[in-house]
Chains A and B, each alone.
Chain A
Amino acid sequence: MAVPRSRVDEIRNCITLTEYGVRNVHTTDFPGNYPGYDDTWSQKRFEKNFRINIINMDDSTVEFDMIGIDCAIANAFRRILLAEVPTMAVEKVFIYNNTSIVQDEILAHRLGLIPIKADPRLFEYRNSGDEEGTEIDTIQLQLKVKCTRNPKATKESSDPRELYVNHMVYSKHIKWIPIGNQADHFGEAVIGPVHEDILIAQLRPGQELDIVMHCVKGIGKDHAKFSPVATASYRLLPEITFLEPIEGELAEKLKKCFSPGVIAIDVLEGKKLARVANARLDTCTREVLRNEELKHKVKIGRVRDHFIFSVESTGILPAAVLVSEAIKVMMSKCQRFLNELDLAQME
């Protein structure tokens, strides 16, 4: 072999950032591509190398590392989070009265985008053509607000907050009307908007809104209002290697090329020596490659199979639950086609 093994490993495992481009972007570890490597799929090998670490987690966000997986599959999870994990959202808006300045269709669109806190796993998809909806596929919400003058307002006041009652319509004014036995099933005050302070419309005395909404189950592919995440993204772990020791003033220059905290400088016997302290903080700017003195001393790249996921929920379900759901969606896709194949072979 003309190319040494270490070089081949580098092509296989590391994406290299160069001054004018990014190299080794694509996955190439398929059988037959590299003599001497066994690239056949092995579940055992995958399970041995695969790791997940949760870096940070609360109700609405989760940040975790997924290590030892190909980008095709990591990307599938990300795509499913954005577009294929179901949620409940307002789909039909019945406007009985709207004398506000907001037009009906704009109002309906605004209502659709309000995240509704209801566990979508407890509901079914509504059949196409069904206009009525039942307790298993529909949540009914009501928004009934009328603006009036505040009789207690002082005469010289010009502040709308003092002059009027109900002149700001917020998502907290939306009330859940249980259908059938939903009240027993879910209990009071479980279903409703996630946030209570979303401004829907502004009214003036005499104006009113009288609206009934139907929420149905859907996926982000159909309409973005069904997307359960505010963002779901990943980045690859940055990797910085020094090809030779970087000392003295050059170490200081190097430190300035990276984000704060990436490079640390140790002082050994009065001599400054640069060290990679935390590559994770690097933004991969490639600033270092613009420096003539430094560019041949440093190699920067990204680890191909180390994904730093960041998932931010809209608040309907905890972010970590969404990740689990996304993986289950992926599995159901496989199951669906396996069932199809079984059916096809029986015929």
Chain B
Amino acid sequence: ESSVSRKTAFVQAEGADESCVTYVMHDEDHTLGNSLRYMIMKNPEVEFCGYSITHPSESKINFRIQTKGGLPAIEPFRRGLTELNDLCQHVLNTFEQVYSRSFSTFGKD
């Protein structure tokens, strides 16, 4: 109903409340889908989280979130994305740290 932009459309099932939402994420696949599912499943307020690729020739995923106690699904969705971003930032920092340190060990690059 509130199809906001081309990239993320929000599909809310008929009669359901805002705690059960399917997000359509365009131009995404298992890369973000599975990582984000993992992060959101780590949230104890989430009852269910899963995704599916609608069709091999369509580059979009349906990303479903159901929460406990009527919490709006957008909250764990946003939190999952933020946490995934922070995780990646730490991985990047660690990798670059180790990389610059091993520069001397393995010679020039």
Do the beta carbons of A41 and B42 come within 8 Å of each other? yes
Q: Which of A55-80 touch B at CB < 8 Å?
A: 56-59, 64, 66, 69-70, 72-73, 75-77, 79-80
Which A residues are CB-close (under 8 A) to B107?
A: 58
Which A residues are CB-close (under 8 A) to B39?
A: 41
What is the interface size of chain A, counting residues whose CB is below 8 A from a CB of the partner? 51
- Whether A269 sits at the interface, judged by CB under 8 Å, is no
The verdict on A73 contacting B87 (CB below 8 Å), with A51-B94, A324-B92 known, is: yes
Which A residues are CB-close (under 8 A) to B91?
A: 50, 52, 66, 69, 73, 77, 327
**Which of A244-252, A284-292, A330-338 interfaces with chain B?**
A330-338
Do the beta carbons of B95 and A327 come within 8 Å of each other? yes
Q: For A30, A84, A323, which residue has the most chain B Cβ atoms within 10 angstroms?
A: A30
A284 CA to B73 CA in the complex, in Å? 42
- Shortest A139–chain B CB gap in Å is 24
Which B residues are CB-close (under 8 A) to A47?
A: 90
The verdict on A31 contacting B98 (CB below 8 Å), with A58-B109, A80-B31 known, is: no
- Shortest B83–chain A CB gap in Å is 6
Q: Which residue of A lies closest to B25 (CB)?
A: A337
- Whether B43 sits at the interface, judged by CB under 8 Å, is yes
A47 CA to B88 CA in the complex, in Å? 11
Number of A-B contacts (CB under 8 A): 134
Do the beta carbons of A338 and B32 come within 8 Å of each other? no
Do the beta carbons of A343 and B42 come within 8 Å of each other? no
Q: Which residue of A lies closest to B99 (CB)?
A: A320
Against B, the Cβ 8 Å flags (1 = close, 0 = not) of A109-149 are 00000000000000000000000000000000000000000
A331 CA to B87 CA in the complex, in Å? 9
The verdict on A334 contacting B92 (CB below 8 Å), with A57-B102, A76-B34 known, is: no
A194 CA to B25 CA in the complex, in Å? 37
Do the beta carbons of B106 and A337 come within 8 Å of each other? no
Q: Which residue of B lies closest to A69 (CB)?
A: B91
- Whether A318 sits at the interface, judged by CB under 8 Å, is yes
Query: Which of A31, A59, A330, A335 is the one whose CB lies under 8 Å from B43?
Result: A31
- Whether A27 sits at the interface, judged by CB under 8 Å, is yes
- Whether B4 sits at the interface, judged by CB under 8 Å, is yes
Do the beta carbons of A338 and B81 come within 8 Å of each other? yes
The verdict on A340 contacting B82 (CB below 8 Å), with A41-B42, A59-B109 known, is: no
Which B residues are CB-close (under 8 A) to A39?
A: 42
A328 CA to B94 CA in the complex, in Å? 13
Do the beta carbons of A32 and B44 come within 8 Å of each other? yes
- Whether A46 sits at the interface, judged by CB under 8 Å, is yes
A70 CA to B34 CA in the complex, in Å? 11
List 10 tightest A-B contacts by C-beta distance, closest first.
Answer: A41-B42, A334-B85, A31-B44, A72-B38, A344-B4, A57-B106, A327-B92, A54-B102, A72-B34, A76-B35
